[in-house]
Structure 1
Amino acid sequence: MADATTKPTPLLTPTQDDDGAPFWTYAARGELRIQACAACDELRFPPRPCCPHCRSFDSTWRKMSGRGRIWSYVFPHPPLLPAYAEQAPYNAVIVELADAPRIRLVGNLVAAPDADLNSVAPERLRIGAKVQVVFADVGGTVVPRWLLERP
């Protein structure tokens, strides 16, 4: 359980397998990269060993602009984990990437990279709102978060 001086760890510990580990390595560097097929150039997320389009096992990681738009959002009630109760209500957003509209990432809309999950008032969230990725170290894991482009 988190106290006033300790922020909770991420909801999920990232999978450090051969397919997903590069995503987290790039995130730790402050880069948003998405796996792409080296054969047909299709982007895919979540990362996986085989391209669902051409079935190639060759992949690369393409740097994204980090821009997107809120595709959907929710305010979980009650919080998903007890450690997050003090920050409720907080948002969980699905962001559609501007460079790759078929790629959607889950995260939180925050006022600053290291801000609490409830740092943006619920009435400020809108489907279609433009956002920009930022990265924050949360409990030893660097995770992508999102800021409104026009606060």
Structure 2
Amino acid sequence: MSDRDSAAWWDAVRRHELTLQRCAACREVRFPPRAMCNRCGAESAEWVPALGTGRVYSWVVTHQVFAPALAGRVPYTTLLVRLDDGPDLLMYGNLAEGAPADLRPGLPVEAVFEDAEDGTTLINWRPRP
């Protein structure tokens, strides 16, 4: 899962910290992580804390077993969340609490961390009170 651009992000997630990349030149925040800023082309960036909140943009309920490790979770719901940190920042994660029937576009959610048995930590989302 981790690569050159995302390794620092995955390290932060393992510490239960949600971070985003910010361009060192123009200060534009971006996600997913990448080597070059889309706005100014600079190749230097820093990691900054994310708010950990957003709004549901879309979702899909998966009924098919695509990975044996997830067989016991089917059906599960994956959300696409528009982060409150910026207008063009989208992040995926599973629905941690609630039912798919309760979802609607714009529903406020917050990030929660899930430590998987294989040592991976995932970002999931739950409705905000």
Q: TM-score, normalised by structure 2?
A: 0.91
Partner of 1:15: 2
* Root mean square deviation, CA, Å: 1.4
TM-aligned CA deviation for residue 94 of structure 1: 0.4
Q: 1:82 & 1:142 partners in 2: Cα distance?
A: 18
Amino acid at match of 2:125: W
TM-aligned CA deviation for residue 85 of structure 1: 3.1
Q: How many equivalent pairs are there?
A: 128
Q: 1:58 & 1:131 partners in 2: Cα distance?
A: 31
User: Given the alignment, which residue of 19, 23, 27 partners 1:33?
Assistant: 19
User: Given the alignment, which residue of 17, 34, 48 partners 2:34?
Assistant: 48
Contact 2:96/2:112 (CA < 8 Å) preserved in 1? no
Amino acid at match of 1:130: P
Partner of 1:11: none
The alignment partner of 2:62 has SS state of coil
Q: Which 5+ residue runs of structure 2 have no aligned equivalent?
A: none
Q: Percent identity?
A: 39
- 1:77 is aligned to 2:63: yes
Q: Structure 1 residue runs of 4+, over 3 Å off?
A: none
The alignment partner of 2:13 has SS state of helix
User: Given the alignment, which residue of 77, 100, 103 partners 1:125?
Assistant: 103
Per-residue CA deviations over 1:37-96 (Å, capped at 9, x if unaligned) read 100011222211111111111101121110101110001232332442332221010011
Per-residue CA deviations over 1:99-140 (Å, capped at 9, x if unaligned) read 2121100111112xxxxxxxx322122211111111111121
The alignment partner of 2:40 has SS state of coil
The alignment partner of 2:39 has SS state of coil
User: Given the alignment, which residue of 26, 46, 61 partners 1:60?
Assistant: 46
User: Given the alignment, which residue of 110, 121, 124 partners 1:142?
Assistant: 121
Q: TM-score, normalised by structure 1?
A: 0.78
Amino acid at match of 1:147: R
The alignment partner of 1:100 has SS state of coil
Q: 1:29 & 1:83 partners in 2: Cα distance?
A: 23
